[in-house]
Structure 1
Amino acid sequence: MPKENEFLDDIEAAEAEAFAEEETEISDEAVEVDTLRAERDDYRDKFMRALADAENSRKRADKQRREAEQYGGTKLARDMLPVFDNLKRAMESVTDEQRDQMGAMIEGIELTLRELLNVFKKHGIELISPEIGDKFDPNMHEAMFEAPVPNTVTGEIIQVSTDGFMLYDRLLRPAQVGVSSNPG
């Protein structure tokens, strides 16, 4: 019987060894699966970040394109403002006698001034034309001087030197005004 016991012991040892090897293989496979899952999650995270970066770049480029489209002509617009100022001054200096003598020429200047304003409007340039008595707004007006004028309130516009302009929502040039410093 000792041989039979030895034989049974060998079988049990072989089974135990096979079981241990199988358990080690399962353990190795579990580690490998966990490693692959971690790697997959890492790649997914990198992909999502790259996708978000691409979307942000697209939005940024779209915003820059829109701004370039809207505000790209700012320098030209600023260079055209003195043309408007000169035409307006010319029209303000015309007397009734000159209007009678040179009606067609003066009408041409008026039409040119109107057309210039239409072109400005077409390109998002709006006139800021404050009136005497309006409240001074530092966001739209530039105070050229202050003077105490009777029957006015502090911060009230008392003279308009030059009209201002907006380019869409940006100030192109503030209106230049005189402001009352009357204490009350």
Structure 2
Amino acid sequence: MSDKEPTNFLDDLAEAEAEIDAENDVDFSDEELELDALRAERDELRDKFMRALADAENSRKRSERDRKEAENYGGSKLARDLLPVYDNMKRALEAATDEQREVSAALLEGVELTMRELVNTFKKHGIEPISPQVGDKFDPQTHQAMFEAPVPDTKAGDIIQVAAEGFMLHDRLLRPAQVGVSSTPG
């Protein structure tokens, strides 16, 4: 009997230890699983937060860029509509003869002052003239060729006549300068 009792006791002890280990492993693995789930949820929430923060920053930058663009270029339609007024005033001043200048000096002076005020207002709002000269090289980025003609003593691509000035609104082309261009003399 004494042989069986210790074996039984040892078997019982081993069984009890196995049960305790199994209970601890289950509890430990449940806690571990819960901890892993919480970590995964934390990481997911951190990722969502970082994405929301990046989206907010991108929206702020986009709205700032849109605001600046609206400030700089929002009046481009009005500016484009005022360019014919500038052209007509310039033509009126150029068409006046010396005799007309003597008779209507006050009127022409008023037109000149109005023209200067218009030019100053253009400059104040970032509108700058493009004033090519006869003999300059044609630039398709800022000039529009209205016609092409062979002219002696010129090179192909030289400006031979300026029909209308062009204008830039800050760094954008508002209207190209309208020019006549020399073709290769025949």
Bucket of the pairwise TM-score, normalised by the shorter protein: over 0.9
Counterpart residue identity of residue 24, structure 2 = E
1:78 matched residue in structure 2: 80
Q: Give the structure 2 partner of residue 56 of structure 1.
A: 58
Unaligned runs of 5+ in 2: none
CA separation in 2, counterparts of 1:111 and 1:174? 25
Between the aligned partners of 2:137 and 2:173, the Cα distance in structure 1 is 18
Q: Which amino acid aligns with 1:105?
A: L
Alpha-carbon distance between aligned partners in 2 of 1:111 and 1:136, rounded to the nearest angstrom: 32
Amino acid at match of 2:178: Q
TM-score, normalisation: structure 1 = 0.94
Matched residues, percent identical?
A: 67
Output the TM-score relative to the length of structure 2.
Answer: 0.93
- Structure 1, unmatched stretches of 5+, are none
Aligned-pair CA distance for 1:61: 1.1
CA shift at 1:78, angstroms? 0.8
Trace 1:109-128 onto structure 2 (pairs within 5 A): 109-128=111-130
Report what 2:17 is aligned to. Answer: 15
- Tell me which residue corresponds to 2:167: 165
CA distance in 2 between counterparts of 1:155 and 1:42 reads 63
Residues 152 and 185 in structure 2, CA contact (< 8 A), matched pair in contact too = no
Q: Deviations over 1:117-169 (max 9, x none)?
A: 00001011111111001110011010000000111110000000011111111
Displacement of 1:11 in angstroms is 3.1
Q: Specify the alignment match of 2:140 in structure 1.
A: 138
| More displaced 10-residue stretch of structure 1: 25-34 or 75-84 | 25-34
Q: For 2:117, give the aligned amino acid.
A: E
Shift of 1:31: 2.0
Q: Give the Å deviation of 1:24.
A: 2.0
How much does 1:4 deviate? 5.4
